[in-house]
Amino acid sequence: MEGLFRNILYQTKNTYRNKSYFFWVVLYPIVLAAFFYAAFNGMMDIELEDINVGIVEDNPISFILEEIDLLNVEKVREGEIEEKIENEEIDVFIDNDLNLLVKKSGIKQTIVKEIVEQIKQMVKLNRPMDSYDFSIDYTISKNQQANPMIIIFYSLIAMVSAYGVFSGIESVYYIQANLSNIGVRINATPLKKSNFLVAGIIVALVLNLISNFLLIIFIQYVLKLHLFHEIKYSTIFILLGNLFGVLLGVLIGVSNKLNPNTKTALGIIVLLFLSFLSGMMSPDIKIIIESKFPIISRINPINIITSNLYRINLLGNTRFVNEGMIILSIYCMVLVIISYFFLRRRTYDSI
Amino acid sequence: MIVEVRNLVKRYKELIALDHFNMEVEEGEILGLLGPNGCGKTTAINCILALLNYDKGEIQLFGKKMTPNSYEIKRQIGLVPQEVSVFENLTVRENVDYFCGLYVDDKNLRKRYVEEAIEFVGLKDYVKFYPKKLSGGLKRRLNIACGIAHKPKLIFLDEPTVAVDAQSRNFILNGIKRLNQEGSTIIYTTHYLEEAEMICKRIIIMDNGRNIVSGTKEELKEMITTTEKIVVGFLSIDDETASKMKKIPHVIDVERDGEDFVIKFENGFNNIANLLEFIKSNNLSYVKLYSQLPTLNDVFLELTGKELRD
């Protein structure tokens, strides 16, 4: 046990003193957050107003919609639906099959979509509508900067939570005799590889969580964007993101003989690409992927974290939380299993 | 025997890196593995330490088969790899303490060992320095300190003086002698002849993955026909006279470089007197004349047909 603590101590020192690690994991995300804020600040200053919803006279859920404070329900005739949407007199039209008709995507449309989805689910479950207060989930976001642009910040946090990838790559680098000189030395000592690796994973998780925490503090208190209302699930998703990142790093580190810089670049590319698909560069990308390639959206780990952080904190919707946690856990297990097959090798063909 | 290697064969695809390599090391000796770059010295060490797979052969350390899981054997071994292998973001003391701590659990004992190792390699004034702030020679010393701090019984030093200045080299070589005097058995790989001559009690000469010959320096030199080399430089000499030099008693070879000659003699005596007689009888004038005993390079040259540094 003492050996594990010594490894943790020295690996912590070796990691946090690494200037490039400090830049990429601590400074870069804060700079990026500040940059996003400067670029999109004006677009996020919209306070959420009531949502104008159009329905026809005999809409089957009109009585539920009318009970929700957030919604201004307007009954429109068939012939004027398109005109009212075009003129933005109504934000969303809900037809009798509970399909939505919108002019553009946005927070208002997303909220109505979530409400309708919940109503559909209640109907399927045969639960009485009057037992459910649909407004509770959504009104918490009323004073929130309520724009899809906020997705960028959730996506940024999701990406940064997976930045443990760098430490994962480094930990493996030090214990593989075929990858590094230190690996040769360490393999000649009585130290068990697993001790070093476990210590490395703990260090990576702790340091990365600290950097995530610093980023969130920066966003919360410097940029004054209040992204987190649901702490428990947010923490779980950030933790899973960290674990995923570190284990991805271990796999990238152990599975090939590329030099460490190339591996780090590979890690960055993978994370940036996944973050791009989950809307970090533009929320429109996320919307396009979700509508055109929903499966990609559903299995993209960064998107799982982004969407869940967005849903649970901004929309108060915890419906997809379990699915997200399960998928991320499966990713982690798969990464562990594959890495194990590379790591269990104890001697090498060449060094 | 502290180390026994029998018929070790290691292939890298088509290339045979070790070809029935044999080695025995007795407790308390400094064994030199001497050979040109790429002859298989490091591969042999990596196989012995169970870092590399090998195709055939047997390896025993301390009388037991060496495997990657032989942690008790590993506890008694120190390795100073060819490349400087330390953590760039740990200071000198932290690096030595980290590696020492992989062998020594007792805190107080470890503290003492770390201080002794730092003093041993002369890095006392640099304990708070990071490796990148050290010169090449000082880095090599740190590399050594990390490998010996735990006072191992058996130390592998893989070309520890490559690319270091003369001062650091002497410091390192003297340190190795001291380690040996303090009880460590040492396996020292090098392609520097002088180093092997200076510190090794016994030498294995390697080439193309094979141990060509082994023995003490004296034993190795006795194995070759050349027992003396005389270097002579003439003011001038014609080709006909030069060719007559081969007829001097016991001469086995004459190498010419301009007006300078290296004359090799086989077993015999009075070689200088015979050469002086030749000079006198041919009315030659010389500007230099001195005798050399054969070096390990001569041994290598005669056994392999090439210079050690080819």
**pLDDT of residue A137 exceeding 50:** no
**pLDDT of residue A131 exceeding 80:** no
Q: Tell me whether residue B252 is exposed, middle or buried, using C-beta atoms within 10 angstroms of its C-beta: 0 to 12, 13 to 18, 19 or more.
A: middle
| Cβ atoms of residues A325 and A237 within 8 Å | yes
**pLDDT of residue A238 exceeding 80:** yes
Nearest 10 degrees: Cα torsion A259, A261, A263, A268: -170
Instruction: Judge whether B81 is closer than 8 Å to chain A, CB to CB.
Output: yes
Averaged pLDDT for residues A41-58: 73
CA distance A68 to A139: 10
Per-residue buried b or exposed e for B23-47, using 16+ beta carbons within 10 Å of the residue's own CB? bbbeeebbbbbbbbeebbbbbbbbb
Chosen from B98, B100, B130, B140 to mutate, greatest number of chain A CBs within 10 A: B98
Which residues 113-152 of chain B have a CB within 8 Å of chain A? 146-147
pLDDT at position A144 = 44
Backbone angles phi, psi at B8, to 5 degrees: -75, 125
Residue found by looking up tokens 């109503």 in the block: A119
**pLDDT of residue A101 exceeding 80:** yes
What lies within 8 Å, CB to CB, of A340 at 6+ separation is none
Which residues of chain A have a Cβ shorter than 8 Å from any chain B Cβ? 2-3, 6, 10, 13-15, 17-18, 177, 180-182, 184-192, 346-351
The amino acid that residue A104 corresponds to is K
Cβ–Cβ below 8 Å for B89 and A18: yes
| Cβ atoms of residues A240 and A305 within 8 Å | yes
pLDDT at position A219 = 93
Give the closest residue to A193 by CA, choosing from B104, B145, B69.
Answer: B69
What does the mean pLDDT of chain A come to? 85
pLDDT at position A49 = 67
pLDDT at position B90 = 97
From the list A17, A18, A182, the residue facing B85 with the nearest CB is A182
Give the closest residue to B261 by CA, choosing from B282, B277, B275.
Answer: B275
pLDDT at position B178 = 93
Q: Tell me whether residue B132 is exposed, middle or buried, using C-beta atoms within 10 angstroms of its C-beta: 0 to 12, 13 to 18, 19 or more.
A: exposed
Q: Tell me whether residue A23 is exposed, middle or buried, using C-beta atoms within 10 angstroms of its C-beta: 0 to 12, 13 to 18, 19 or more.
A: exposed
How far from the centroid of its chain's Cα atoms is residue B3's Cα? 17
| Cβ atoms of residues B263 and B237 within 8 Å | no
Chosen from A10, A13, A171, A173 to mutate, greatest number of chain B CBs within 10 A: A10
Q: How many CB pairs under 8 A join A and B?
A: 86
The amino acid that residue A249 corresponds to is G
Instruction: Judge whether B108 is closer than 8 Å to chain A, CB to CB.
Output: no
Biggest CA-to-CA distance, chain B = 77
From the list B12, B72, B79, the residue facing A188 with the nearest CB is B79
Instruction: Judge whether B225 is closer than 8 Å to chain A, CB to CB.
Output: no
pLDDT at position A142 = 42
CA atoms within 13 A on the CB side of B222: 6
Averaged pLDDT for residues A146-158: 79
The amino acid that residue B304 corresponds to is T
**pLDDT of residue A130 exceeding 70:** no
Q: Which CA distances in Å does B199 have to A65, B10, B163, B183, B192?
A: 92, 28, 19, 15, 11
From the list B53, B74, B146, the residue facing A348 with the nearest CB is B53
From the list B49, B51, B94, the residue facing A10 with the nearest CB is B94
Per-residue buried b or exposed e for A172-205, using 16+ beta carbons within 10 Å of the residue's own CB? bbbbbbbbbbbbbbbbbbbbebebbbebbbbbbb
| Cβ atoms of residues B77 and B148 within 8 Å | no
Give the closest residue to B261 by CA, choosing from B291, B283, B217.
Answer: B291
Averaged pLDDT for residues A107-112: 79
Cβ–Cβ below 8 Å for B52 and A350: yes
Which residue ranges of chain B lie beneath pLDDT 50? 310
Whole-prediction pTM value?
0.79
Instruction: Judge whether B226 is closer than 8 Å to chain A, CB to CB.
Output: no
